[in-house]
Amino acid sequence: MVLNSSESSESTAEPNLKTTAEPSRSLESENTQSSAPGMPNGAFDSEPPLRIEALHALNYCERLYYFQEVEQISVAHPDVYAGRRLHDDVVSDEDISPEKRSLHVESEQWGLIGKADAVRKRDGQWIAYEHKKGRCRRESDNTPAPWSSDRIQAIAYSLLIAETLGEPVPEARIRYHKDNVTVKVSIDDAAAADLKQAIERARELRRSDQRPPVTDNERLCSSCSLAPVCLPEEERSRPDQMQLFPARRSGQTIHILSPKARVGRSANTIVVTVEDDVQKIPVEDVDSVVIHGSGQITTQALHLCSSRGIPVLWYSMGGRFMAGTQSVSGRVRQRIRQFKALSDSTFCVNLARTTIQAKVESQLRYLMRATRGNDQRRDVAQKLIERIRETLTRLPQAATLDTIRGLEGQAAKSYFAALPELISDQATEHLVPKGRTKHPPKDRFNCLLSYGYALLFGLVHRSLIAVGLEPAFGYFHQPRSAAPPLVLDVMELFRTAIWDIPLIGSVNRAMWNSNSLFCISPGQIWLSDTGKKQAIQLFEGRLCETFKHPHTGTSIEYARIVELECRLLEKEWSGYPGEFGQMRLR
């Protein structure tokens, strides 16, 4: 078993946004009448209920609401867990009677569903309470006031509590724990009218196929957990503003190599057992689980990973990607936009040209850099380098996918023919490649090359799934066997940077000279378990290295760059094109 981790990075979440899981079933309300003001008359009966938490997001930012409620995109974040712990501590520490805590409320009349923090009786009247871990808003005279998103949430809970209890709830109170302030919210006709307006807007957006524009308030983006998904920077055309895409991964990839390994669950912890060795990893510290060969994972562990959006991937013993879990839902509108865009042949040709241009330029720059200072190797590789240059001059005029494929094949043939010139004398002669062979690889270098590409395949695959794209619908590669074309398309950007360069560096350091790292049989060569472990460590180490990406202008881990490029790819058909495939080796 290999456990490889990157530094955790703290991204921010919406201030005072309390995340509550949606109830798994819908309960019919027994109360059809209420004394609450402004009760709508069955206006929302024909549509599924809205979560009250969704109205909080709507009031904070309409685009955030659309991501969470329409496209079902969420990001696990430490602030969310902190908010939940705060709520648990508050309801367990306080003991005020009479009261109801974590009260489930639902209304067919309002078309809302949710769970209120608490409702307590004061001077003979029920008061709704909400707890927020952040600070309150301040008026011009420094008077405490609620944030608009918190206010609409408190109003909704109060009106639904009134309907549930059959008694009026004239007031809500919001406790802001950061500055130890309680703010009161009046529940009157004006409050009910504001709630009705918010619900109507929420339902209007839920029926729309288009994402709302980014908010004009840049400060909201800096405090939003979905900023890495939204990528609002280019939509504002403000290159000098704060870059919101996180530079580092927030979790670790767990690689399971032993056939005797078992991945289980204990509460919110992933438990990996290999014979007598037991390792426990909090689920918040895991970004994916990769099982190589015949390791086992329990149903309970799968449920936990699925609930947290953590992909589980299976590879064959030889390193071929077999399958992976897909724990996202509600991405229909994203897929519709993707299918519509990638059904346009001209659009696909332009994307393919951009991708292959980036790939071939990176290959050329690597060859030139690796042969610099060695006249003998540069002389041998020069003719191949010139052929790649010629391919690059012809690519901008390529008008069909077949032409682009032909040019990409010519460049690849020259690139792999030049790779032996990059292998130092420290490596054994068995590690000097003689062209590119695969399915199966026939020499040790190609065995290593294919295994690293398989790891890269899994990384790109789970990144596309996380973004919400359909891997089976691509723009350059044709559907074949079990390899989703879009994964192969996006992989072209990263083959050289993420695997070729570190692999050749490790070969030149004599890391692969030992015969024990390979399993050799007639006509094919595979990595041994020890060799796989060493390859995975090399791959994960590369993912933790940083590169200055042109979109952000800052250094970002390669693992994050793969996700960033997948998000920029979606931007190509979401109204803000021109950023995908701009990364080049220097």
Map out the domains of the chain as residue ranges.
11-236, 252-324, 332-571
Choose between 576 and 91: higher pLDDT.
Answer: 576
**383-435 tens-digit pLDDT:** 899 999 999 999 999 999 999 999 999 999 999 999 998 998 888 888 998 88
Q: Is the pTM of this model over 0.85?
A: no
Does domain 252-324 bear CATH number 1.25.40.10?
no
Gap between the Cα atoms of 163 and 459, Å rounded? 49
The pLDDT value given to residue 467: 86
The pLDDT value given to residue 468: 85
The pLDDT value given to residue 149: 92
Q: Which two tokens stand for residue 357?
A: 């241009």
Asked whether residue 354 carries a pLDDT value surpassing 80, the answer given is yes
**Ranges 108-112, 314-318, 357-361, 512-516, most confident:** 357-361
Gap between the Cα atoms of 275 and 131, Å rounded? 46
Lowest mean pLDDT among 81-85, 97-101, 131-135: 81-85
Q: Distance between alpha carbon 31 and the CA centroid of its chain, in Å?
A: 42
Structural contact between residues 312 and 288, judged by C-beta atoms closer than 8 angstroms: yes
Q: Per-residue confidence at 152, pLDDT binned at 50, 70, 90?
A: very high
User: Is the alpha carbon torsion for 407, 409, 414, 415 positive or negative?
Assistant: positive
**451-500 tens-digit pLDDT:** 999 999 999 998 998 888 999 899 999 876 668 899 999 999 999 999 99
Residue that has been written with the tokens 């041998």 in this structure? 380
The pLDDT value given to residue 33: 41
User: Which is nearest to 114 in space by CA: 148, 145, 155, 146?
Assistant: 155
- Going by the DSSP 8-state scheme, the letter that residue 25 receives in this structure is S
Average pLDDT over residues 325-335: 73
Q: Please state the three-class secondary structure of 108-134 as a single string.
A: CCCCEEEEEEEEEEECCEEEEEEEECC
Q: Are 252-324 and 332-571 equal in CATH topology?
A: no
* Domain 11-236 fold: Lambda Exonuclease; Chain A (3.90.320)
Instruction: Name the superfamily (CATH) of residues 332-571.
Output: CRISPR-associated endonuclease Cas1, C-terminal domain (1.20.120.920)
Q: What is the DSSP string of 247-292?
A: SS-SSEEEEE--TTEEEEEETTEEEEEETTEEEEEEGGGEEEEEEE
Q: What per-residue string of b and e applies to 268-305 under the rule 16 or more CB within 10 Å gives b?
A: ebbbbbbeeeeeebebbebbbbbbbbebebeeebbebb
Structural contact between residues 348 and 476, judged by C-beta atoms closer than 8 angstroms: yes
Choose between 83 and 508: higher pLDDT.
Answer: 508
Please work out, in degrees rounded to the nearest 5, the angle formed at the alpha carbon of residue 36 by the alpha carbons of 34 and 39: 80
Asked whether residue 142 carries a pLDDT value surpassing 80, the answer given is yes
| Per-residue CA distances from 544 to 4, 210, 251, 541, 584 (Å) | 10, 35, 11, 5, 18
The pLDDT value given to residue 256: 92
The pLDDT value given to residue 86: 46
Q: Which two tokens stand for residue 134?
A: 């952040």
Structural contact between residues 64 and 14, judged by C-beta atoms closer than 8 angstroms: yes
Asked whether residue 569 carries a pLDDT value surpassing 50, the answer given is yes
Choose between 21 and 61: higher pLDDT.
Answer: 61
Asked whether residue 178 carries a pLDDT value surpassing 70, the answer given is yes
Choose between 531 and 248: higher pLDDT.
Answer: 531
Q: What percentage of the chain exceeds 90 in pLDDT? A: 47
The mean of the pLDDT values for the chain is 83
Structural contact between residues 174 and 130, judged by C-beta atoms closer than 8 angstroms: yes
The pLDDT value given to residue 30: 39
The pLDDT value given to residue 229: 77
Structural contact between residues 408 and 360, judged by C-beta atoms closer than 8 angstroms: yes
**225-273 tens-digit pLDDT:** 787 777 776 666 555 544 566 777 778 899 998 889 999 999 999 999 9
Gap between the Cα atoms of 198 and 188, Å rounded? 16
Residue that has been written with the tokens 């902190």 in this structure? 82
Asked whether residue 278 carries a pLDDT value surpassing 50, the answer given is yes
Give the other-Cβ count within 10 Å of 32's Cβ: 10
Q: Per-residue confidence at 20, pLDDT binned at 50, 70, 90?
A: very low
- Helix or strand holding residue 526 (H, E): strand 524-527
CA dihedral 8, 10, 16, 22 (to 10 degrees): -40
